[in-house]
Amino acid sequence: MHQYYQTLRLLASQASISATEWEWFVNATTVKHIPSGVTIVQSDHEVYHAYFCTNGLFRLYYTLPDGREYNVAFTLENDFATSYGAMISGSTSMYTIQAMEDSTVIEIPYTALQVLMDRSHNWERFVRTAVERLYIRKEERERELLYLTALERYQAFLVKYPGLEKRIPQYHIASYLGISPVSLSRILHSCD
Amino acid sequence: MHQYYQTLRLLASQASISATEWEWFVNATTVKHIPSGVTIVQSDHEVYHAYFCTNGLFRLYYTLPDGREYNVAFTLENDFATSYGAMISGSTSMYTIQAMEDSTVIEIPYTALQVLMDRSHNWERFVRTAVERLYIRKEERERELLYLTALERYQAFLVKYPGLEKRIPQYHIASYLGISPVSLSRILHSCD
Selected for mutation to probe chain B from A16, A139, A146, A149 (highest B CB count within 10 Å) is A139
For residue A85, give the nearest of B70, B125, B136 by CB distance: B136
With 0-12 / 13-18 / 19 or more C-beta atoms within 10 angstroms meaning exposed / middle / buried, residue B136 is middle
A167-183: pLDDT as tens digits? 999 999 999 998 999 99
**CA angle at B31 for the pair B27 and B33, rounded to the nearest 5°:** 165
- Whether A1 has a pLDDT exceeding 80, the answer reads no
- Whether A59 has a pLDDT exceeding 90, the answer reads yes
Average pLDDT over residues B9-37: 95
- Whether A24 has a pLDDT exceeding 70, the answer reads yes
For residue B131, give the nearest of A70, A128, A147 by CB distance: A128
> Looking at residue B192, what is its pLDDT?
64
B125-179: pLDDT as tens digits? 999 999 999 999 999 988 888 888 999 999 999 999 999 999 999 999 999 998 9
CB A132 within 8 A of CB B117: no
Selected for mutation to probe chain A from B139, B146, B148, B151 (highest A CB count within 10 Å) is B139
**Among B144, B45, B139, residue whose Cα is nearest residue A88:** B139
| Alpha-carbon torsion angle B98, B101, B106, B111, nearest 10 | 10
Q: How far off is chain A from B86, nearest CA to CA, in Å?
A: 8
Q: Are strands B79-81 and B49-55 parallel, antiparallel or unpaired?
A: antiparallel
Bridge partners for A75 per DSSP? A58
Cα separation, A80 vs A56, in Å, equals 12
Place A119 in a pLDDT band, splitting at 50, 70 and 90: very high
> Looking at residue B91, what is its pLDDT?
96
